[in-house]
Structure 1
Amino acid sequence: PFRWQGTYAVRFAEGIHELMAETGVVIAVENMYPWRAYGREAKMYLPHWNPLPEPYEHVCWDFSHAAIARADSLAAVRELGPRLRHVHLTDGNDSGKDDHLVPGEGTQRVAETLRHLATEGLAGAVCVEVGTRGVEYAGQREEKLAVSLAFAREHLAAGGTDHHDDDGAPRPTTKETDRP
Structure 2
Amino acid sequence: MIYAFDSYYFGDRAKTVCIAFENWDSETEAKIFTQTTAVAANYESGAFYKRELPCILSLLRSIELKKDDLIIVDGYVTLDNTGKIGLGGHLFESLERKFTVVGIAKNGFNSEDDQRRNVYRGESKTPLFVTAIGADVDEITLRVEKMHGKFRIPTLLKKLDQLTRIK
TM-score by length of 2: 0.36
Instruction: Tell me: higher relative CO, structure 1 or 2? Use CA pairs within 8 A at least 6 residues apart.
Output: 2
Bigger fraction of residues in helix: 1
Bigger CA radius of gyration: 1
TM-score by length of 1: 0.35
